[in-house]
Amino acid sequence: MTDLPSHTERQLGLVIDLDTCVGCHACVVACKGWNTQSQPSPLSDQDAHGAAPSGTFLNRVHAYEVMPQAGPAQLVHFPKSCLHCADAPCVTVCPTGASFKRAEDGIVLVNEADCIGCGLCAWACPYGAREMDMAEGVMKKCTLCVDRIYNETLPEQDREPACVRTCPAGARHFGDLSDPESEVSLLVEARGGMDLMPEQGTRPANKYLPPRPRDAWQGEVDVLAPWLEPVAEEPRGLLGWIDRTLARL
Amino acid sequence: MHPAPSLILFTTLSGLGFGLLAWLGIDLSPPEGGTAFAWLALAYALCLSGLAASALHLKRRERALKAFSQWRTSWLSREAWAALATLLLGGGYGLSLLLGYPLLPLGWLTTLAALGTVLCTAMIYAQLKSVPRWHHRSTPALFFAYALTGGALLYGQRWPALLLLALTAALQCWVWIDGDRRFARSGTTLASATGLGPQGSPRELFPPHTGSNYLLREMVFVVARRHAVKLRVLAGLLAFVLPAALLLATAISYFNFICLALHVAGVFLSRWLFFAEAEHVVGLYYGR
């Protein structure tokens, strides 16, 4: 049923550090690589090597420039995937029950075998987290690598989403956001983690850590400058004579 | 939003069909015999061709029957049930007319069910908070207005049609004007979408991919906005002004067909604008 669970035992999700992300897109590649093999159907691409390539991705990295009131502009790399919302609008609109939110861990999933490819869930999602697979005709979305995190055949350090496992900057964190003592919750608390589009009322599980304020120049910081002043302002000796003579002409 | 022909056809044709059923159901002296059959057949043809068009929109049509399962939360599922109920009730009422024993209360139920179906169709769009232009109570009102106006024109209800043409025109004009302000009123901006507002004013620097994608094709349709005003005027002329003028100028009934044809062309255009002009908040992430 596409009713949302009234309560989830846990709420797994991601915490994404906008201060640390370097925009390398490794998470995008790792996500595509894992999920194109592990889902019931591959994440298809269309015209992949042609003039107008297009494909299904569950994670994309945007880039924004933030212009503060004063000081230089700041570049922010901005990874975006499903936020596994508590009030997920994509789930309740689904006419077939293919979309659902799990009561045990809060992950929002699509059962491909029930999806009719109407696209209404993608319309309902304000974040653009769902993409229609044009080859398979069903909706695809981030599963929080549900087939990794509980997978006992994987080494323990690999039991986290592929994007988190691969991030070379340590900008992505995975954990239970409903537990106030979990590492991710403490991180959110310490860094002022925020919701995207809070006014949409979706109550997203994933949190974003805002970029830390940048340093600014304060007072005289260039300690070498006094020693780099030109020693002779006026030329002397032969050069001085030439300078004076030419000036008289 | 991408103005998919299948959805424009669906909302226009089925709206007209259910509007016709609504008028047929409350007719106190309903047609009998062959005439009743002809009206019913026309209404069914419109409703069913609309619903067939909507099925074309599905990528996996073979699973379409699953759409009946989630009526508790999904307006799309409720619409499927409402459409089925309307067609069954309308069929029963039609049978009673055909046999010469009109069961008027069954007709009233048909009218209610037909209006309920139109409501469900409209709510599919009105429920979407992510599309501020649609997320408004005027969306079901407008769908009702169009269905009843088209139905009245089709069923040859001259004065109700004239009154409804005027009312629907007024409502549509207000929706166009008010709709332009709804995105700003929703409070969703790139600053709230990225949470970067406290840091300063954000703007898109470069997109996450060089090509296009499903999101941009489906939800960031910007081509229409350029000619919106001209298209609105044209839609208003076709859907309301010309049919009303023709209806007033002549009482000859075969002009009704021309009125109807003009009106339907106008409704097609306004539905195209309904989709094409609707801005989805995901466009903000792409700087559009």
Q: What is the mean pLDDT of chain A?
A: 93
Per-residue model confidence (pLDDT) at position B253:
62
Domain's final residue, options B106, B127, B148: B127
User: B50 and B110 share a domain?
Assistant: yes
**Quick one: closest CA in A to B56, which residue?**
A118
**pLDDT tens column, A210-225:** 999 887 777 767 778 7
**pLDDT tens column, B141-162:** 999 999 999 999 999 888 899 9
Task: Give the least confident one: A12-26, A69-83, B220-234.
Answer: B220-234
Residue A16 has pLDDT above 80, yes or no: yes
User: B93 and B205 share a domain?
Assistant: no
Confirm whether B162 is domain-assigned.
yes
Confirm whether B222 is domain-assigned.
yes
Confirm whether B244 is domain-assigned.
yes
User: B169 and B51 share a domain?
Assistant: no
Here the ipTM equals: 0.93
User: B117 and B4 share a domain?
Assistant: yes
Q: How far apart are CA B63 and CA A94, in angstroms?
A: 13
Share of chain B above pLDDT 90, in %: 76
- Interface membership of A3 toward B (CB under 8 Å): yes
Which site among A31, A66, A136, A206 would you substitute to test the B interface, given the most B Cβ atoms closer than 10 Å to its Cβ?
A: A66
- Tokens describing residue B190: 């790139």
Domains and CATH numbers, chain A: 12-209 (3.30.70.20)
Contact between chains at B58 and A95 (C-beta distance less than 8 A)? no
A-B contacts (CB, under 8 Å) = 197
Residue B155 CB neighbours (<10 A): 22
- Interface membership of A27 toward B (CB under 8 Å): no
User: How remote is the C-alpha of A81 from its chain's centroid?
Assistant: 7
- Interface membership of A214 toward B (CB under 8 Å): no
Residue B93 has pLDDT above 90, yes or no: yes
User: B20 and B66 share a domain?
Assistant: yes
Which of the pair, A70 or A137, is modelled with greater confidence? Answer: A137
**pLDDT tens column, B7-65:** 999 999 999 999 999 999 998 888 888 888 999 999 999 999 998 988 888 999 999 99
**Strand extents, DSSP E, A82-130:** 99-101, 108-110
Confirm whether B151 is domain-assigned.
no
Per-residue model confidence (pLDDT) at position A1:
59
User: B191 and B104 share a domain?
Assistant: no
Per-residue model confidence (pLDDT) at position A234:
79
Residue B254 has pLDDT above 70, yes or no: no
**pLDDT tens column, B202-245:** 999 999 998 889 999 998 887 777 788 899 999 999 999 999 99
Chain A residues with CB under 8 Å of B63 CB are 96, 114-116
User: B115 and B190 share a domain?
Assistant: no
Q: Which of B219, B119, B210 is nearest to A125 (CA)?
A: B219
Nearest to B63 among A75, A114, A201 (CB): A114
The DSSP secondary-structure symbol of A173 reads E
Residue A135 has pLDDT above 90, yes or no: yes
User: B170 and B282 share a domain?
Assistant: yes
Confirm whether B123 is domain-assigned.
yes
Contact between chains at B194 and A122 (C-beta distance less than 8 A)? no
Domain's final residue, options B112, B127, B142: B127
User: B29 and B86 share a domain?
Assistant: yes
Which site among A16, A80, A96 would you substitute to test the B interface, given the most B Cβ atoms closer than 10 Å to its Cβ?
A: A96
What is the β-pairing status of strands A131-133 and A138-140?
A: antiparallel
Per-residue model confidence (pLDDT) at position B251:
66
Range of the domain at B241: 156-288
If one counts the domains in chain B, the total is 2
HSE (side-chain half, CA atoms, 13 Å) at A233: 1
- Tokens describing residue A53: 């390539």
Per-residue model confidence (pLDDT) at position B238:
95
Confirm whether B141 is domain-assigned.
no
- Interface membership of A116 toward B (CB under 8 Å): yes
Per-residue model confidence (pLDDT) at position B71:
93
Q: What is the mean pLDDT of chain B?
A: 92
Per-residue model confidence (pLDDT) at position A237:
86
Residue B252 has pLDDT above 70, yes or no: no
User: B81 and B121 share a domain?
Assistant: yes
Per-residue model confidence (pLDDT) at position B48:
93
In this prediction, residue B255 has a pLDDT band, given cuts at 50, 70 and 90, of low
Q: How far apart are CA B192 and CA A196, in angstroms?
A: 6
User: B84 and B200 share a domain?
Assistant: no
User: B100 and B192 share a domain?
Assistant: no
Contact between chains at B74 and A52 (C-beta distance less than 8 A)? no
Q: How far apart are CA A190 and CA A211, in angstroms?
A: 13
Confirm whether B35 is domain-assigned.
yes
In this prediction, residue A158 has a pLDDT band, given cuts at 50, 70 and 90, of very high
Q: How far apart are CA A23 and CA A169, in angstroms?
A: 9
DSSP three-state, residue A75:
strand
**pLDDT tens column, A177-233:** 999 999 999 999 999 999 999 999 999 999 999 999 887 777 767 778 778 877 777
- Tokens describing residue B29: 């002296």
Contact between chains at A66 and B124 (C-beta distance less than 8 A)? no
